[in-house]
Amino acid sequence: MATSAGKTVPESAPKRKLTYRKTKARWHPSMQAIPVPGIRRMVNMAAEMDDVIHLSIGQPDLPTPKHVTDAMVDSIQAGQTGYTMDAGLPELLVALRDYYGNRYGRKLSTENILVTSGATEAMYLALSATAAPGRQFLVVDPSFLLYAPLIRMNGGEVKFIPTRPENGHQLDPDDIIKNISMRTFAVVLNSPNNPTGAVYPKSTIERIVEECAFRGIQVFSDEVYDHLVLDDEEYSSVLSCGTDLDHLMCISSFSKTYSMAGLRVGWIISSQGAIKKLRRYHMFTTSVANTPAQFAGVAALEGDQQSVRDMIDIYRERRDLIVDLVNQTPYLTGYKPNGGFFIFPDLPDHVDASDLCLRMLKETGVCTVPGDAFGEHCTNSIRFSFSTTSERIEQAFERIIPWMKKQNL
Ligand SMILES: Cc1ncc(COP(=O)(O)O)c(C=O)c1O
């Protein structure tokens, strides 16, 4: 013991040497189901380059209608900046109920609807609340990159059902039905499809939905491009089929139809029982969607729909242009997508599109997305987005066509 000012104090303990152990962050193993997306690699590289033409864009380039942005600004100025009810702004629930009721002649109640932060949250809730070990999900290949990782993160099994460019990536309902087994829990549909632009006819949707209802299998239907149908056909939602909502979850958002991707409002429509369960989950994830953006959504649904008709005309013209340009490009096999704003042509089977897209970006300055971002059977495909002006699309192909002529694939 040492003494200090007459007091006995303990001898100071030898100083502990602080060392820092380098450990890996202890992420949940399920995080391994999230792939490193090819899109990011391309976009990061493009960000370092000058004079890039992006045919990689996954959101509308058209402006949000003014009455929609006005409604959002007005709601903020009126002090509507608090939380809404967890299921969604009551006015929006009513507007969605009426809109879907009129469109598909289906009687819905506001209790069949949950408003979310975009279709992304809706899909997150629906898939992660149901995927589990021993449950198999049939997923169309190629399809939007969210579904398979969300299913796998929660222990679910993904079985890909390939579609082919020879028939415009149409889904043969028999390909789904013959793959249903004892383990199958659900089918994930997306029409119009990202990345192929395929719109499934009513006969396809009806056959799958009816078979799934008969066998007690859940159908998740991502309908975010439901207004981007570019030819003269009526859009078929799972809600236009006669089956009860117990087997269905219809997911959509304002992102594409009204160019509101950054405002983040989407929804799920399902049975009242399913919505009740998902509401609780929603409260523990994002709690509520953005309030002013929900007011903007009400204005979008209830206001003039001319912007939607104009949007379809614009995308149709661009689609026709890009179909023609793809047909003129050596090594690419195209088709005519009848919805969305993407085309997904094939390269010869042995070609790795990921490698080719990187070289194309470096050497021509055109940014696209390689097929492996969207599934396992499409590593020789490229996604071109036509969510940019016709001038930019033409300029891009003025670079791509001569460059492809020089390739020896
Ligand atoms: C097929 C598909 N589903 C969902 C989303 C996400 O939409 P949201 O902006 O509503 O989250 C996208 C966005 O690109 C998409 O292409």
Does residue 8 have a pLDDT over 60? Answer: no
| Element at 369 (helix H, strand E) | strand 369-370
How far apart CA 110 and CA 92 sit, in angstroms, is 9
Band of the pLDDT at 11, cuts 50, 70, 90? low
Q: Is the dihedral of CA 316, 321, 324, 330 positive or negative?
A: negative
pLDDT of residue 5: 47
pLDDT of residue 18: 67
Mean pLDDT, range 73-92, rounded to an integer: 97
Q: What is the percent of the chain where pLDDT is above 90?
A: 86
Least confident of 27-36, 50-59, 298-307, 321-330: 27-36
Domains of the chain by residue range? 33-63+306-405, 66-302
Q: Which fold has domain 66-302?
A: Aspartate Aminotransferase; domain 2 (3.40.640)
Report CA(13)–ligand 1 centroid distance (Å): 60
Report CA(8)–ligand 1 centroid distance (Å): 71
How far apart CA 224 and CA 244 sit, in angstroms, is 21
- Mutate-to-test residue for ligand 1 from 145, 253, 344, highest number of ligand atoms within 8 A of CB: 253
116 touches 282 (CB < 8 A): yes
DSSP string across 82-113: S---TT--HHHHHHHHHHHHHHHT----GGGE
Report CA(146)–ligand 1 centroid distance (Å): 9
Mean pLDDT, range 87-106, rounded to an integer: 96
How far apart CA 192 and CA 201 sit, in angstroms, is 10
Ligand 1: nearest atom to the Cα of 193? 1
- Mutate-to-test residue for ligand 1 from 125, 139, 144, 342, highest number of ligand atoms within 8 A of CB: 144
pLDDT of residue 142: 96
Summarize pLDDT for 366-405 with one digit per residue, the tens.
999 999 999 999 999 999 999 999 999 999 999 999 999 9
- Mutate-to-test residue for ligand 1 from 120, 147, 252, 257, highest number of ligand atoms within 8 A of CB: 120
Q: Per the structure block, which two tokens stand in for 90? A: 């009551």
Summarize pLDDT for 38-80 with one digit per residue, the tens.
677 788 889 999 999 999 988 999 999 999 999 999 999 999 9
Q: Per the structure block, which two tokens stand in for 275? A: 């919505």
- From the candidate CATH numbers 3.50.50.60, 3.40.50.300, 3.90.1150.10, 3.40.50.740, the one assigned to the domain spanning 33-63+306-405: 3.90.1150.10
Residue nearest to atom 13 of ligand 1 (CA): 58
- Mutate-to-test residue for ligand 1 from 224, 227, 285, highest number of ligand atoms within 8 A of CB: 224
Q: Per the structure block, which two tokens stand in for 146? A: 């969210």
Summarize pLDDT for 104-123 with one digit per residue, the tens.
999 999 999 999 999 999 99
How far apart CA 33 and CA 166 sit, in angstroms, is 31
pLDDT of residue 3: 45
Around ligand 1, the residues with Cβ closer than 6 Å are: 58, 118-120, 144, 190, 194, 222, 224, 253, 255, 261, 266
How far apart CA 289 and CA 371 sit, in angstroms, is 32
Q: What is the percent of the chain where pLDDT is above 70?
A: 93
pLDDT of residue 224: 98
Return the higher-pLDDT residue of 58 and 293. 293
Q: Tell how strand 248-253 and strand 218-222 pair up.
A: parallel
Report CA(118)–ligand 1 centroid distance (Å): 7
pLDDT of residue 19: 66
Report CA(51)–ligand 1 centroid distance (Å): 27
How far apart CA 352 and CA 367 sit, in angstroms, is 16
Strands (E), 91-167: 113-116, 136-141, 157-162
Return the higher-pLDDT residue of 7 and 358. 358
Ligand 1: nearest atom to the Cα of 253? 10
In single-letter form, the type of residue at position 349 comes to D
Does residue 2 have a pLDDT over 50? Answer: no
Burial of 29 (0-12, 13-18, 19+ CB in 10 A): exposed
My answer on whether omega of the bond before 192 falls inside 30° of 0, hence cis, is yes
Strands across the sheet with 382-385, in order? 342-343, 382-385, 369-370
Nearest alpha-carbon partner for 138 in 198, 78, 179 = 179
Ligand 1: nearest atom to the Cα of 252? 10
Q: Is the dihedral of CA 76, 77, 83, 89 positive or negative?
A: negative
pLDDT of residue 4: 45
Least confident of 165-169, 201-205, 206-210: 165-169
Report CA(17)–ligand 1 centroid distance (Å): 52
Nearest alpha-carbon partner for 311 in 23, 103, 61 = 61
pLDDT of residue 24: 65
In single-letter form, the type of residue at position 354 comes to S
Task: Give the contacts of 406 (CB within 8 A, at least 6 positions apart).
Answer: none
Q: Per the structure block, which two tokens stand in for 5? A: 């000012």
